[in-house]
Chains A and B, each alone.
Chain A
Amino acid sequence: MGIFKRLRSIQTNMVLASVFLIVLTIFIMSIISYYLTKDAVQSKAQAYTTELVKQVNNNIKSYVNGMKYMSDLAAGNHSVQEYLSNSTFSSLKEEKGYKEAISDMLESMLASRTDIASANVFGYGGQFVSGRKELELNPYIDIKTLGWYKNAQAAEGQNVLSPSHVQPVFKGRYPWVVSLSRELISKDGKKLGVFLVDLNFSVMNDMFKDIRLGQRGYLFIVDSDGKIVYHPQQQLVYSNLKSEKIEEVLAIKSGTFTSDEGRDSRMYTVQDSDFGWKIVGVSYVNELVGNQNEIRLSFVLWGLVCVLIAIVLSFFLSQRVSKPIKRLQDSMKEVEKGNFDIHVMVPKSIEIGRLARAFNIMVGKIKELMSQVVHDQEQKRKSEINALQAQINPHFLYNTLDSIVWMAESNKSKEVVLMTSALAKLFRASISKGEELVSIRTEMEHIANYLMIQKMRYKNKLDYEIDIGDTVYDYKTIKVILQPIVENAIYHGIKKKHGPGLIRITAEETAADIHIHIEDNGNGMDEEKLKSLLLPARDAEEGRGVGVRNVHERLMLYFGPEYGLSYNSKLGEGTKVTFRIPKSLRETEVEQ
């Protein structure tokens, strides 16, 4: 079966249509649900990141607030003010007293704080007091060059928070710290020195190190200048193996934005803190949606599975429709081949069921008609044989030959010739050719010959008249159709009657038909016999009935059921037989 032919089949069409619909539906649904899922997951991740960043902010804030608190205490401390503003002291003891008071104050601040590396006071007069007494200044470092020192001076009494850095001011130590520094100013506005408190950066590092946003996401902090306070991959950032959208981060106060880096797009969640730092959560967009490809692929695959199921379903559904049609088609093919002994199972579906039922009825009808045709043909053949038999009635032949013998004995040679030639014509007419139809003229000649023979046999007992107009001669009739009726008229009508009888043959023309009448004034029939005459023959009943019925049937078979014989008879008065034949054919037409 070619592809195009297959495309025209109902089943393929149904499968294709439903598959197309289902594929379309699944496709649209998949896309919609994919994006819905993606959005849902993304907003959830965003909310989570925001919450996390806020918490980190609060944690840092508590550290920074602690440092600020220390700075405030130190700035307002009487001993600090006194110690730094006096360049000369009355005694070394007094100076030492102030120094110890400050040291004790700072030490007490640090007592319970492992997160604070140191708290120190640097006087512009070169004074140095630390909360950790073991610390010594690094002789190779000039503190005036350090960032936290310069920034504090520039801020004039405000707290300054540095980014994470190495603190080199103490001998033999290079700790990573976050510094809060503040210029110390006396009540009368004199600049006295700088206060420094260092927070161990490892505290923050430990806090952030384990924060992971998804598989690869992380957290970083920048200060207001865009300097990195904390970044898990700081070295990669410095060596340009990684880049951060620092400018965008600085541009927005708090909120979320997404970098456009294709597969590696990152979502930045920025939280501004009130101490100048920005805490930034970075998550990879493609990670947010679980594994984006996985989701996409599973959508595609499940879509595919649905489509396959749909194909199978639609295949079976369409088969339910097309299978009975196919079965019907197969049966029709059988009928085409001539097998009418077929009964299609009526399927459950209404439409096809009706079709099947109608088909069954149709086949039944055809079968009936066929058998009727066969039957009719058989009848026809039988009646033809009968007709032949009727033509050569052996008794008629014996009697005629007897008559000829008798006439020859009486030396009536002229009559012998006449009768013998009439008999010869009679035989020739009935045997000649195979043609069924002859002109009425020929049929009349035939019956004239027959009647002549009978007249010569019965002498005065029989008279006959043939009175037919010229106009009907050329119409066609079945051959040897009058003879059996005339024979009946002689043997059953005239012969049984006392005295001479007359047979009269006339014809009359109507618009469409021709009526040929054969009348005798013989014995006639009673009503009962008349009725039984044209009814199907009962085999037992011989004689008159057989010939008559045979003639009637032949006429009906040839010309149709409306044609045939009709009888009129009265007992003792005679019988009139009427042939009705159509005017359909004329001799000349047939010859042409």
Chain B
Amino acid sequence: MIGSKHKIWVGSIVALLLIGGALVYGFGGLSKQKTIDVKVIIKSMDASVEFWQVLIDGVQEAAQEFDANVQVWGSDSETDVDGQIALVEKAIEQHPDAIVLAANDYDRLVPVAEKAEKKGIKLIIVDSGIRSEKPRSVVATDNVKAGREAGQAMLQQLSGKGKVAIISYVKNAASHIDREKGVRSVLASSPDIELLDTSYAESSEQNAYLMAKELLLKHSDVIGIVGLNEPTSVGAGRAIRELNLKDKVMLIGFDSSFNEITLLDEGVMKATVIQRPFQMGYLSVKTAVEAVEGKKVLKVVDTGSLVITKKNMYEEENQKLLFPFVGN
């Protein structure tokens, strides 16, 4: 009787000791917990596109702050959809905890993106989305809103009747589709404005320049052009500058670059709607880390947009956005 009771005692104490030891050991192991692995796949690694360079800055800032192991990959150009699909496949093979993707194509990246989610990799969309509900979160500018802001800026500049043209970069990128929607929703409401069909620059600034030039020569009553991203804005700007139409044709652009700033300074471009790529990069990694840690993340994170004009371009708050501190 006593013997068996002793055995229970000793047994339970030994068990407790083992549990304690295991806890200490286990915790020691846990404390060196594996850093979160995140693959960021952006549209373009081209160092001359400041937008992505700033976004990478934000990514790296977040990586450091949240102690995540982040690798940034990108296709050669924003039109290289196959290249990007291959990159996502490669990322899935390495099985990171999360993939942050800026999709080059709204539709064609859907299968590979959904495959990542199926494999248990948390998918976060940054900047440009895909036609799927699978991504945990979309960290991007609310492009429809940004488009409306561009439309509003155009309305403020315009006086009198005339035609307004929209130049888009590529046909099937979500961000451009949304911006166009926003711009059109504002401008369509004005009776003085006739909206021309959207021109597609096929991801070339030179194309945008040529298209704008042709447009301006063909339609003498064009009073406004909206460029939906940096190359299209700069291309259109070049055309206006060349034809010396800066007082007649109002140019509203998107994003910022050295060329766009020059256009703003010169007064060729009246306003540009800028995004916050640093925030996008930072918040997309932050959201990815939170998703991996099992926290609840917002389905949509709007990083906001800002209308910059010649007047406010040198204000302290805007300098950092407009003059990214990259490669200086």
* Chain A residues engaging chain B, CB cutoff 8 angstroms: 1, 138, 140-141, 146, 163, 165-166, 168, 172, 174-176, 200-202, 205, 212, 215-216, 227-228, 232-236, 238-239, 241, 291, 294, 297-298, 301-302, 304-305, 308-309, 311-312, 315, 326
Contacts and interface: CB of A to CB of B under 8 A. Distances in A.
B325 A176 contact: yes
B266 A235 contact: no
Contacts of B2: 326
B16 interface: yes
B24 A302 contact: yes
Given A163-B316, A308-B16, A326-B2, A174 B24 contact: no
Given A166-B319, A174-B261, A235-B279, A305 B67 contact: no
B323 A172 contact: no
Nearest to B266: A140
> What are the nearest 10 A-B pairs in CB distance?
A235-B278, A140-B265, A166-B323, A305-B20, A301-B24, A202-B328, A166-B319, A238-B317, A294-B31, A308-B17
Contact of B316 (A172, A227, A326): A227
Q: How many residues of B sit at the interface, in one of the four size bands?
A: 35 or more
Interface of B: 2, 5, 9, 13, 16-17, 20-21, 23-24, 27, 31, 58, 61, 64-65, 67, 258, 261-262, 265-267, 276, 278-279, 282-283, 304, 314, 316-317, 319-323, 325, 328
B321 A235 contact: yes
A233 B61 contact: yes
B207 to A, nearest CB: 25
A216 B68 CA distance: 12
Given A163-B316, A312-B13, A174 B276 contact: no
Most chain B beta-carbon neighbours within 10 Å: one of A172, A174, A176, A315: A174
Contacts of A200: 328
A443 to B, nearest CB: 61
B201 to A, nearest CB: 25
B320 to A, nearest CB: 5
A291 B67 CA distance: 13
B31 A176 contact: no
A236 B282 contact: yes
Contact of B17 (A212, A228, A297, A312): A312
A194 B234 CA distance: 35
Contacts of B319: 165-166
A447 to B, nearest CB: 66
A146 B17 CA distance: 72
Given A163-B316, A212-B64, A297-B27, A201 B328 contact: yes
Nearest to A228: B316
B17 to A, nearest CB: 5
Contacts, number: 91
B195 to A, nearest CB: 31
B320 A174 contact: no
28 contacts: A138-B265, A140-B267, A165-B314, A165-B319, A166-B319, A176-B325, A205-B328, A212-B64, A216-B65, A227-B316, A234-B320, A235-B276, A235-B278, A236-B61, A236-B279, A238-B317, A239-B276, A291-B31, A294-B31, A297-B27, A298-B24, A301-B24, A304-B23, A305-B17, A305-B20, A305-B21, A311-B13, A312-B17
Nearest to B61: A233
Most chain B beta-carbon neighbours within 10 Å: one of A140, A146, A215, A308: A308
Nearest to B264: A140
Given A165-B319, A301-B27, A309 B65 contact: no
Contact of A315 (B13, B23, B325): B13
A236 B64 CA distance: 14
Given A176-B323, A304-B20, A305-B20, A241 B282 contact: yes
B271 to A, nearest CB: 16
Contacts of B325: 176, 201-202, 205
A301 B20 contact: yes
Contacts of A298: 24, 27
A66 to B, nearest CB: 20
A250 to B, nearest CB: 16
A141 B265 CA distance: 8
A477 B314 CA distance: 140
Contacts of B283: 241
Nearest to B317: A238
A233 B65 CA distance: 10
Nearest to B65: A216
Nearest to A200: B328
Given A236-B279, A241-B279, A172 B262 contact: yes
A488 B175 CA distance: 145
Given A235-B278, A235-B321, A312-B13, 17 more contacts: A1-B5, A175-B328, A176-B323, A200-B328, A205-B325, A227-B316, A233-B61, A235-B279, A236-B279, A236-B282, A239-B279, A241-B283, A294-B31, A302-B24, A305-B17, A305-B24, A315-B13
A462 B322 CA distance: 161
Contacts of A232: 61
A236 B24 CA distance: 39
A236 B265 CA distance: 26
A235 B317 CA distance: 8
Contacts of A301: 20, 23-24, 27
Contacts of A138: 265
A215 B67 contact: yes
B17 A165 contact: no
B202 to A, nearest CB: 29
B328 to A, nearest CB: 5
Nearest to A306: B20
Contacts of A308: 13, 16-17, 20
A311 B9 CA distance: 10
Nearest to A238: B317
Contacts of A239: 276, 279, 304
Nearest to A163: B316
A212 B67 CA distance: 13
B264 to A, nearest CB: 9
Given A234-B320, A239-B304, A315-B13, A168 B265 contact: yes
A235 B320 contact: yes
Nearest to A307: B20
Nearest to A177: B328
A304 B25 CA distance: 13
A315 B14 CA distance: 12
A165 B279 contact: no
A317 to B, nearest CB: 13
Contacts of A234: 320
B192 to A, nearest CB: 30
A291 B33 CA distance: 12
Contacts of A309: 17
Nearest to A175: B328
A333 B23 CA distance: 45
Contacts of B317: 238
Contacts of A212: 64
A146 B304 CA distance: 28
A1 B27 CA distance: 38
A200 B282 CA distance: 26
Contacts of B17: 305, 308-309, 312
Contacts of B262: 172
A236 B286 CA distance: 13
Nearest to B1: A1
A416 to B, nearest CB: 80
Nearest to A330: B2
Contacts of B323: 166, 174, 176
Nearest to B325: A176
A141 B313 CA distance: 12
A84 to B, nearest CB: 26
A234 B266 CA distance: 28
B24 A176 contact: no
A215 B265 CA distance: 41
A216 B314 CA distance: 30
A567 to B, nearest CB: 63
Contacts of B279: 235-236, 239, 241
Nearest to A305: B20
